[in-house]
Structure 1
């Protein structure tokens, strides 16, 4: 009896490992996806590590888009249990930093104008300041979501022009996912405002959100088929 119970326990344990994507396959059990995400503490550590690396690259401000793109690609490799050496992150940065400057400069100029509108609206110097402030904050949020989604679509082969063009269609295809990414952008802004060094964790979490949102959508599609 104890032998049978032991076999059952081993079989259940094997099934859990197979479904997680971390263990060997078991007959009749479909292996899980994203095995790199099964080690929760390991994933958290990787988010902080890549957040620090992204922060270093983003210190130039206009280099924020390539920092996000390289970080998102790194986390995508990590959760898929693919080669996720830090050197590949820096390879992506080197490959995309010069083309990304056009996106970075344009984003910085737009963000600067919107921030100036918010500041002037708060000072009372403009008529209808409350409305202008709301429009300014909304514009900043839309800009943040667009940058995150474009960074998620970027690859050295595709380039930035194609990545930016994909953003409107991606938002229409998954408005709820865009809302999740907007929440991640707000989270990053709030924690950075509360304590500047938390930007490292915030930007890492934002990059992870860009990786996780499409996976959530694919799982939902799979369940309905």
Structure 2
């Protein structure tokens, strides 16, 4: 019984990257994601952290950028101390607030257009409504893509400039990001507290979507 327990413990340590590899084989690409329950807990923690940082709404981009970097470190089994998350928040906060303010203003304008289109007060209401929803999808795509590309060294300008190239290089990934934003919106609309786990899942999705093709290669 003792030997079986030791064998299972060694197997778990090998999968997580915390222990030695018992067989000659390539290491797992994302050792931090091998423990599913621990990954679920990290998603919830990341969602909580992003929510706390994003309480002012305009600070949400900074929270997303820091949360995505925290999640990326976790799945790679790198140093993912919370001190590093808060250090990222401090670097991303003020410039990210400008990005958040622009995104908030665009979102409010688009929501107003959708509401007016549905009221029948505008000619061509159905077309305007479609344009409004497409605009919201674009805002969400830019926000998630830029947050995923942000680094303390390059800053927000470089992250925003990288968005068009990323969309062209991986259009299917862009659609996945839009679907991710839709999931967060629907979950929050159904029950506001669900924003916390949903935004944590969004941070994990931003990490996973760009590398999915590498996993199939």
Q: Residue 39 of structure 1 corresponds to which residue in structure 2?
A: 35
Q: Does 1:85 align with 2:81?
A: yes
Match of 1:63 among 59, 63, 73: 59
- Residue deviations 1:115-169, cap 9 Å, x none? 1101111111111111111110111011101100100000111100000000010
The question of whether the paired residues in 2 share the 8 Å contact of 1:152 and 1:210 is answered with yes
Instruction: Return the alpha-carbon distance in structure 2 between the equivalents of residues 14 and 45 of structure 1.
Output: 22
Aligned partners of 2:26 and 2:19: how far apart in 1?
11
Pair 1:204 & 2:200 matched: yes
Secondary structure (helix, strand or coil) at the match of 1:201 reads: helix
1:108 aligns to 2:104 (yes or no): yes
Q: Identify the residue that residue 132 of structure 2 maps to in structure 1.
A: 136
The answer to whether the 8 A contact 2:15-2:34 is kept is: no
What is the rounded CA distance, in whole Å, between the counterparts of 1:58 and 1:188 in structure 2? 14
1:21 Cα deviation from its structure 2 partner: 4.6
How many residues of Structure 1 are paired with residues of Structure 2 in the alignment? Answer: 213
Moved more, 96-105 or 167-176: 96-105
Gap runs ≥5 in structure 1: 1-5
Larger Rg: 1
Kindly provide the CA deviation profile for residues 47-66 of structure 1, in whole angstroms up to 9, marking residues without a partner as x.
11110111111111111111
CA distance in 1, matches of 2:189, 2:200: 16
Paired residues of 2:15 and 2:31 also in contact (CA < 8 A): no
Tell me by how many angstroms 1:187 deviates: 0.3
Residues 61 and 147, structure 2, Cα contact 8 Å, conserved in 1: yes
Which of 1 and 2 has higher RCO (CA within 8 Å, sep 6+)?
2
Counterpart position of 1:96 = 92
Q: Distance in 2 between matches of 1:92 and 1:15?
A: 34
1:24 to partner: Cα distance: 2.3
Q: 1:83 & 1:203 partners in 2: Cα distance? A: 22
Of 43, 49, 55, the residue aligned with 1:53 is 49
Q: What CA deviation, in whole Å up to 9, does each residue of 1:59-104 have, x standing for no partner?
A: 1111111110000000001111111111211111111111112211
**Superposition TM-score, scaled by structure 1 size:** 0.88
Name the stretch that deviates more: 198-207 or 14-23. Answer: 14-23
CA distance in structure 2 between the aligned counterparts of 1:14 and 1:169, rounded to whole angstroms:
43
The TM-score, its normalising length taken from structure 2, stands at: 0.91
